[in-house]
Chain A
């Protein structure tokens, strides 16, 4: 469901939750409330941003992880079980490390799209990068230069994230390159001695 609704609509919805539920309380269902807050105080622009963006993203991430885990050959589960691994060991030692190889690239893209998604929260008056820029150019009227500044910052952040992603991908690609990695062989020979 959270994937079916545009993130911008969800953000505005969470921000305006107070119209629907004036009070939010934690308590026993149909019993007394233990704690209770005024929704207008709880749903600050920040909480609305966190709830909105994370619900959308977690829905996508769950799908990515599911696909990655299902993509691991059934024979790998069986070989691990055959060797006496418990189901938990099988998952964490054998299946997940192999799934990571297919999980990381789309997760990286997701991560970057969250970063870009933060620009959306400027409409609910939260001071993200874009909002800050808007505030400044409304005062100084230097619209294009300031938007360029924002662009450069987004690019820098995305480049850093992409580099991090590349490193992770290399780490989990171990055993999937055809040539021998010289460093590891040297290490191994040392261990063999």
Chain B
């Protein structure tokens, strides 16, 4: 970022004519002197499923949290559909977006958390309709009809009027996915969606994510499920110590890893099958 620091449009996209849904350029995030993200670049094209793997503490969560502006980046730039995230033009310079401006950008990005974070005082249905109605101004009846369809898509239409506490972890995470879909995000971010689940509940959630990938949604999925990663990914990304170490299509990534670190990581994680941290 030298000549283009003041641009709110993605300069790379302008040059090539190709606008990726999401592009990260040299993103840095420092926590108390420790770089959780140390110059990360990433590009996600329309309809692409990018799976991010890496050891615990390598910065995967920080990456998706930065894209979602739950953390402020310290350097670099992020673009959604070619539009700069987190800053706006102001009197010939750039300034951080107001909380409202940031909220407006977040509405175009969906997020599924490791710990679900459903709203416990709302039913499953209300969890799904709340943002479309309150944030996007949809008519409650329309939002509800659509929410029931989404709950159907994750196999939980019959649980629409249950509260989160009355649902299993796997069911809660599926409601959380429906909730994230309800705002029709341009890109859906998953941060280890199955790591908080009992092993027997993992598959029902993965099946839903697999279905979404089949439907052509643009997604970034952080996961420790290697078999799943290999199956759904269009492209895999390996992170270590805040950097993207290796990236490639799943066959090469898992079949012929180039870097030593990825080889070591894969031998640890595929030998034992499922593993998480």
| Beta-carbon contacts under 8 Å, A160-188 to B | 172, 174-180, 184-185, 187-188
Q: Are B160 and A81 in contact (CB under 8 A)?
A: no
Q: Which of B5-13, B46-54, B161-169, B245-253 contacts A (4 or more CB under 8 A)?
A: B161-169
- Say which one of B32-40, B104-112, B204-212, B264-272 lies at the interface with A: B104-112
Residues of A within 8 A of B115 (CB): 75
Residue from the set B68, B70, B103 with the largest chain A CB neighbour count within 10 Å: B103
Chain B residue nearest to A97 (CB atoms) is: B121
User: Is A25 among interface residues, defined by CB-CB distance under 8 A?
Assistant: no
Q: State the CA gap A185–B123 with chains docked (Å).
A: 10
Which residues, 111 to 148 on B, are CB-close (under 8 Å) to A?
A: 111, 113, 115, 117-123, 125, 130-131, 134-136, 144, 148
Closest CB in chain A relative to B273 CB, distance in Å: 29
Per-residue 0/1 for B70-95: is the Cβ within 8 Å of any A Cβ (1 yes, 0 no)?
10000000000000000000000000
B117 touches A188 (CB 8 A): no
Name the 3 nearest CB pairs between A and B, nearest first. A188-B161, A84-B107, A175-B163
User: Is A89 touching B134 in the complex (CB atoms < 8 A)?
Assistant: yes
B113 contact set on A, CB distance < 8 A:
75, 78-79, 82
Contact of B135 among A87, A89, A98, A185 (CB under 8 A): A89
**Contact check: which of B107, B117, B144, B163 meets A174 at CB < 8 Å?**
B163
In angstroms, Cα B233 to Cα A42, docked, is: 76
CA distance A164 to B240 in the complex (A): 57
CB contact under 8 A between A174 and B121, given known A81-B106, A85-B135, A184-B161: yes
Please list 10 pairs of residues, one from A and one from B, whose beta carbons are closer than 8 Å in the complex, sorted by A's number.
Answer: A73-B117, A81-B106, A83-B135, A84-B106, A85-B131, A98-B121, A175-B120, A180-B166, A189-B161, A192-B161
Which A residues are within 8 Å of any B CB, using their own CB?
Answer: 73, 75-76, 78-87, 89, 93-94, 97-98, 172, 174-180, 184-185, 187-189, 191-192
Range, interface on chain B? 35 or more
Please tell me if the beta carbons of A82 and B106 are within 8 angstroms of each other in the complex. yes
Bound complex: CA of A176 vs CA of B161, how far in Å? 14
B99 and A86 form a contact (CB under 8 A): yes
- Contact (Cβ within 8 A) B99 A87: yes
Distance between A161 CB and nearest chain B CB, rounded to angstroms: 24
